[in-house]
A and B are shown apart, each in its own frame.
Chain A
Amino acid sequence: MNELTMQSALTPADFATDQEVRWCPGCGDYAVLKAVKTVLADVGAKRENTVFISGIGCAARFPYYIDTYGFHTIHGRAPAVATGVLLANPDLDVWVITGDGDGLSIGGNHLMHVLRRNVNCQILLFNNETYGLTKGQYSPTSRVATRSPSTPSGSIDHPVDPTQYALGCGANFVARAVDTQVKQLVEILKAAYRHPGAAFVEIFQNCIVFNEDVFDDFTARANVADNQIQVEDSAPLVYGVDGDRALAFDADALGLKTIDMRADSPTSALVHNAKNRNLAFALARMARPTFPMATGILYDNPGPVYEVEMANVGSAVRQDGKSLQDVMHAGFTWTVGETS
């Protein structure tokens, strides 16, 4: 490391603002904020080139707490604002902060399009299965029968799965993380940062006020081993205490099945391939309690980046010094002369 980089290297603390953090004490958002600051420091992000863009909701306060450029926009529209920022300046490093209501209800359309266009940004969707800021109504990711102020008898609508939605929209980077699994979260965010194009990360985030421990089934310390599989590219898809469980291909179901590694031959466990979209779908679709919840980088397979394609499409800019004046003078013109 030379002197210059020593001087310019920023620590996580350097990314903190002087603004008081206003999330409820104990909220999962704190852990994500800490992880993001760590990632920014570790990857050597430049404060001036980094932009956090959010919509509306608890998580959307995020930009105020990171000392970079930040834009707290309107409900659901952060992906559209981010697209504009990158069209104006493709060199910026843009993070979109959204939630299950912001990104999948009012802003579901924009999320779809930012993913299928493959705009170069990291999208962190904080999924807490509730509307926190408006005081606990059920959200598009709430499970059936969720009781909330707006569904006193329990909700009846079927939830959407953010990760499957992102894969369905054609996202080229799709990952699942847990607020409290800091090490894994940091690694995922670094990979998202490195990925050219849209990188989508669903983060299971504990809302301790309105939906406390809703993810305990696979995030509580006692449940992690048996109920969660943390996938890694090129590694066998094993889980369970001592790796006694694994995932295998189920030809009849055209999908996955769980196998007991003590009974089966170890070679039958599937090996994760983050470039296989079918496998990513199968992993994302696994539902509790039959299957473990898959976390980690399910899919990472870069494709053409929107802003780069935008700059290349059509003829190259001003190659021949063509100007607006030339455009206006092209076609049929006539001169009214002073003397003619």
Chain B
Amino acid sequence: MDTLVEESAHAAREAVETVVVRLAGDSGDGIQVVGAQIGLASALSGNDLETFPDFPAEVRAPVGTTYGVSAYQIHFGGRSIKTIGDEVDVLVALNPAALKTNLATLKNGGIVLIDAGAFTSRNIAKAGYETSPLEDDSLGPYQLFAPDISKLTMESVKESGLNKKASLRCKNFWALGLVYWMFDRKRQPTRDWLNQKFATNPDVANANIAALDAGHAYGETVEATGEIAGYTVQRIDMAPGLYRSVTGSEALAWGLAAAAELSGRKLVFSSYPITPASPVLHTLARLRDIGVVTFQAEDEIAAVCAAIGVAYAGGLGVTSSSGPGISLKQEAMGLAVSTELPLIIVNTQRAGPSTGMPTKTEQSDLNQALYGRHGESPIPVLAARSPADCFDVAVEAARIALCFMTPVILLSDGFIANASGPWKLPDLSKLPRIEVSNHTDREGFHAFLRDPETLARAWAVPGTPGCEHRIGGIEKDFSTGHISYDPDNHQKMTDVRAAKVAGIAASVPALAPDQGEADGDLAVIGWGSTYGPISRAVTNVRARGHRVSHVHLRHLRPFASNQQELLAGFKRVLAPEMNAGQLVRLMRAEGCTRIEGLSKVTGKPFLVREIEAAIFARLETTDE
């Protein structure tokens, strides 16, 4: 917790700027549900926040095991929040396995709230502890608070009429009530949520509400003993507007649906199940009633091929997967390059190679996006930086695909896909339309007629009389669109495809630092989900008076046209990446030879302090 010097108006409560809470328990403990509630309650308390669910990899692990632990981390407070927090201030562990697997995230001196009732010798042994951690000194460095939550929950729901098992299931809401008391959150929205959720089962709603209230009351009671303290969390003035909480997967799905509306095209989303990309499919599958079509194909190849068929027939064709699935799509992506069809390929990256660590995040598919095809086959590449940004990047990907008649790769990752934060809802009627019409003029038509400005080819879709034509993966003649094996023509077509993609840069806004001046001692440059930790680290370093700026890249191919020029204003350039230096090598190849990398390939996002340390290391040597 970042403590503020001044005391809050709330008597006897210490004021803090930000807090990181991590809830952990068995898969069946309802951790994700109460985690999401803290998020909503914090948003209503005037905080910015970011949350991240940490699901077990196993579908249904045995109760009480370490691999069955589900966790949820939330970082909230009175300043702009862009990460889930380097370390945890308050850890709630509802069983021994949850404590065992999550204790390392808790900062020294942090609060650990435990359900003593779940620390039976059987559960302790299941978690792999030899002795109870409550009885040895392993929790010595922390503030331990261990009421018998199980028992207290049972007592609080006595009158609900629920059986023992169902009663005990309310313990997540008891713990939530105590956390609400600690951070002064309002309970009413959660009560409302429970009443709505269990409208057909009021006994369950009432029992959970009773547990919530009991947990809250417990805080008030023990406060006097000094065993536990309450805090006041600073507020932030968010921009006015209507907000909701959104995950990256949801924002991406809605962004694609918005792009379909903005372009007047039918969205057909064609995908094959894969972790962690499937939630985009699930979100869009619920949008049938607004005209979205989702197609669960028989494999990754069929998924991309169907999306190409959609594009050929005049729709907005999108396919989505994660690294291994993208590998399978690569041949078809070459077809989309050759036939110059608008196609969006979404890659929600995960730790690779091969199956790797499917639930862990990485940004190691940049090379794959840039180069993963045979032949000279440039494809524009974009990356989303945060859950909410997925919406905007999806719209941008569609704009590029449709206006330039090209496949586009959109990179997300397992972290942003699952993380969530408050999102100011855009007014769809105010977003710029994507004006691309079908070619209908039969006069002098051939399929590879080009717009002289964008070099996009004419898009005549089946159903258009007089524009019947044949396309395919064989090289086309520049001036007739017929198949051609002419050597000079192949050179010309290769050049024009490259020039078309390079020309997209002219339609992209000039790159400006996300933070800081356009020159200085160090530019920290990033792409994708490293945005959050880089942003915070640069803010912290700048607060100490250093001339450091943050440059964030949304467009990875082509780069914004002024990128080189902008970076020339900095003495040094540092690129933190969750890979072995893929952007670094790309930028070196493009002439930015001063760039240095900071690599992390652990399946986990960067910590702010890791980036801060790397920045300071560069600043020290710059100062010499």
Contacts and interface: CB of A to CB of B under 8 A. Distances in A.
B306 A84 contact: yes
B60 interface: no
B298 A110 contact: yes
A49 B313 CA distance: 11
A113 B296 CA distance: 11
A103 to B, nearest CB: 14
Interface size class of A (residues with CB under 8 A): 35 or more
A199 B424 CA distance: 50
A64 B484 CA distance: 12
A336 B239 contact: yes
Given A84-B317, A113-B302, A71 B312 contact: yes
Given A69-B469, A88-B312, 6 more contacts: A64-B483, A87-B306, A110-B305, A322-B290, A332-B189, A336-B241
Contact of A17 (B339, B428, B470): B470
Nearest to B266: A88
A251 to B, nearest CB: 39
Contacts of B241: 335-336
Nearest to A17: B470
A310 interface: yes
B421 to A, nearest CB: 13
B375 interface: no
B472 A81 contact: no
Interface of B is mostly: mixed
Contacts of B239: 336
Contacts of A49: 462-463
B308 A317 contact: no
A171 to B, nearest CB: 15
Interface string B240-276: 1111110000000010011001000010101000000
Given A63-B472, A77-B305, A334 B43 contact: yes
A80 B302 contact: yes
Contacts of B424: 336
A331 interface: yes
A329 to B, nearest CB: 7
B425 A328 contact: yes
Nearest to B307: A84
Given A63-B470, A82-B309, A89-B463, A325 B428 contact: yes
A327 B469 contact: no
A94 to B, nearest CB: 9
B407 interface: no
30 contacts: A19-B482, A46-B465, A49-B462, A70-B472, A71-B309, A71-B472, A72-B470, A72-B472, A74-B335, A83-B302, A83-B306, A84-B295, A84-B305, A84-B312, A87-B309, A87-B310, A88-B309, A92-B463, A109-B302, A313-B288, A316-B289, A317-B288, A326-B290, A334-B44, A334-B242, A335-B240, A336-B238, A336-B241, A336-B424, A337-B240
A85 B462 contact: yes
Interface in B453-484: 461-474, 482-483
Contact of B332 (A50, A77, A338): A77
**Residue from B289, B335, B469 whose CB has the most chain A CB atoms within 10 Å:** B289
A80 B287 contact: no
**Residue from A67, A73, A88, A314 whose CB has the most chain B CB atoms within 10 Å:** A88
A3 interface: no
B503 to A, nearest CB: 26
**Residue from A73, A113, A319, A333 whose CB has the most chain B CB atoms within 10 Å:** A73
A80 B297 contact: yes
Contact of B291 (A77, A82, A317): A317
Interface string A236-264: 00000000000000000000000000000
A327 B254 contact: yes
B254 A324 contact: yes
Interface string B37-79: 0001001100000000000000000000000000000000000
